[in-house]
Chain A
């Protein structure tokens, strides 16, 4: 799964570009991929000392509500909260995408993981063939949430819904992610691919995960 993350400001904000967030408070749900995507977007737009963040709830709807109350200048959101934000006048000032990465313990067999991958691959093909129909899933997760009132599958920008058939994580990407996390003090030590990725299980699973047709 590829996740879209967006830096969003309120309807009356004077900020139109990510650079204009320098020195302004940005709420991030530390510990979640979306937060680090937000941090990456900020890092690409300003010097490190200009990045000012605070901890926020991992519930995107609650972050959006707090943004509208003016508790911070911007926050990072994922769907369905990006669509909800835009529908209510908030503005996206930057977007990025990142891979969700499956983390498995030693109990997961190559056979079970391969079956999982085959099923997910078929699902990816079905979704990519008809994204509008499946956009409704984003609304099902939060039934009755007031920030989603009036939102329909037609409100979603389908370009933000990106799915890729699962594949092994390239070592250079895993290394880059480790080193980037280390640069923010989140990890210690050097990256060691042998302790982070069980290539034998990964290789066996993907070798049995080939899916033909839909």
Chain B
């Protein structure tokens, strides 16, 4: 089985990173891939407003390049 998720870092995905590094996904028969948008695609939240925020969350899921993201 393969599953692609959007990038996480420790503050919101320490459990995922440890599971990846310690082979726990592999042990479950899961080929977990972590996808990262190209740097030129990244938008800054500083360009958003409270009612119209700018975020990169879900960008790759929207394009079908990942199946999950953490919101």
> Real complex partners, A and B?
yes
B35 lies within 8 A of chain A by Cβ: no
A-to-B contact residues, CB < 8 Å: 1, 3-4, 28-33, 35, 53, 55-58, 60, 78-80, 100-105, 107-109, 111-113, 115-116, 118-120, 122-124, 126-127, 134, 137-138, 140-141, 161, 163, 184-186
Within 8 A of A (CB), among B13-46: 13-19, 22, 24-25, 27-30, 32, 44-46
Q: Do B55 and A32 have beta carbons less than 8 Å apart?
A: yes
Size range of the interface on B? 35 or more
- The CA-CA distance from A113 to B33 in the complex, in Å, is 13
Residues of the A chain whose Cβ atoms lie less than 8 Å from the Cβ of B51: 184-186
A56-B27 contact in complex given A104-B68, A111-B1, A163-B14, C-beta closer than 8 Å: no
Q: Do A186 and B61 have beta carbons less than 8 Å apart?
A: no
Residue in B11, B18, B48, B70 whose beta carbon sits within 8 Å of that of A79 in the complex = B11
Interchain Cβ contacts within 8 Å, total number: 154
Q: Do A108 and B67 have beta carbons less than 8 Å apart?
A: yes
Q: Do B45 and A55 have beta carbons less than 8 Å apart?
A: yes
Residue in B14, B19, B45, B67 whose beta carbon sits within 8 Å of that of A32 in the complex = B45
Mark interface residues in B1-14 (1 if CB within 8 Å of A CB, else 0).
11100000111111
A115-B28 contact in complex given A57-B44, A120-B16, C-beta closer than 8 Å: yes
A101-B70 contact in complex given A116-B3, A126-B22, C-beta closer than 8 Å: yes
Residue in A78, A103, A122, A161 whose beta carbon sits within 8 Å of that of B61 in the complex = A103
